């Protein structure tokens, strides 16, 4: 769905194994990396450690609270960002190409575009059923991305699929929906104790994401993502003349059946 070119690869990080550590088979699957004393709290998850180094998150002390579930990267082909993100969610057991076939059959998409959260939820239910994830519940949330309820759910292990406007580096921006993109939100970090009402101090809260335009995790402030999600008002005029036929919901992407101020929550993964 997003036509922005992929980000250049992240420069390699200097990773040094501790002198006393003897690599084992399990280490090759999930290595324990260190870099002096930077982000020691995250070294058990190398991908989380890398993204916190890159985005300068909690270098010297453990965050107040956090949760993270790792999903392997799946790059999109064409405007299939939502389908790639959904394939990541089911660990590639149903490929993005197979999900596209289902979406076409159901009349949700022609090229991989998904401009309706309602249709994305229906598609997700079908994919989850195929891989027999019987305990996983998918719900559409209308607003409330930056809310105590959503944040608490994520701290308990909920994962989100969130549509937003993607900037040139694929971070959230405000372009009226013209660069609409999908991200899999698979982690949350609260850097400081801000009291009971998390949403009163959004500058302390970051989400960890994967999306189909990069092999690397990204960290974004949750308020930036929420603002971008609320700003998905209209289909890009440039897409309207690119020669492809897109399926749009009644009322457009800014309507009740579209994307604006909506996202999907998955619990039970």
Q: Which residues are catalytic?
A: 81
User: Which residues have a Cβ under 8 Å from the Cβ of 77 and sit 6 or more positions away?
Assistant: 96, 97, 112
E strands, 78-173, in order? 137-142, 159-166, 172-173
**What is the C-alpha to C-alpha distance for residues 250 and 252, in angstroms, rounded to an integer?**
5
Contact 14, 53 (CB under 8 A): no
Please answer whether residues 186 and 70 qualify as being in contact, where contact means their C-beta atoms are separated by less than 8 angstroms: yes
How far lies 144's CA from each of 77, 220, 226, 230, in Å? 31, 17, 8, 10
CA torsion angle 200 202 208 214 (round to 10): 140
- Name which of 200, 209, 198, 205 is nearest 164 in CA terms: 209
Are the beta carbons of 238 and 104 closer than 8 angstroms?
no
Structure tokens at 70: 């790792």
Q: How far apart are CA 257 and CA 6, in angstroms?
A: 29
Provide the token pair at 125: 């239910």
């Amino acid at each position: 769905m997003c036509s922005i070119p992929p980000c250049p690869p992240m420069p390699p990080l200097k990773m040094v194994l501790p002198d006393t550590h003897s690599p084992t088979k399990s280490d090759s699957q999930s290595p324990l990396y260190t870099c002096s004393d930077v982000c020691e709290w995250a070294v058990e998850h190398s991908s989380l450690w890398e993204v916190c180094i890159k985005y300068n998150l909690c270098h010297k002390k453990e965050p107040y609270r956090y949760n993270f579930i790792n999903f392997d990267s799946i790059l999109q082909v064409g405007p299939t960002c939502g389908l790639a993100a959904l394939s990541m969610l089911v660990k590639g057991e149903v490929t993005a190409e197979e999900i596209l076939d289902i979406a076409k059959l159901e009349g949700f998409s022609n090229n991989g575009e998904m401009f309706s959260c309602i249709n994305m939820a229906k598609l997700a239910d079908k994919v989850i059923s195929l891989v027999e994830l019987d305990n996983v519940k998918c719900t559409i949330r209308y607003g409330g991305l930056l809310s105590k309820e959503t944040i608490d759910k994520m701290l308990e292990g909920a994962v989100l699929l969130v549509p937003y406007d993607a900037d040139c580096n694929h971070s959230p921006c405000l372009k009226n929906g013209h660069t609409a993109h999908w991200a899999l939100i698979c982690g949350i970090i609260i850097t400081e104790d801000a009291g009971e009402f998390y949403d009163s101090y959004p500058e302390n809260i970051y989400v960890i994401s994967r999306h189909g335009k990069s092999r690397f995790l990204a960290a974004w402030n949750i308020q930036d993502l929420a603002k971008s999600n609320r700003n998905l008002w209209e289909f890009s005029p440039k897409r309207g003349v690119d020669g492809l036929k897109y399926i749009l919901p009644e009322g457009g992407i800014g309507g009740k059946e579209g994307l604006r101020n909506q996202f999907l929550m998955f619990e039970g993964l």
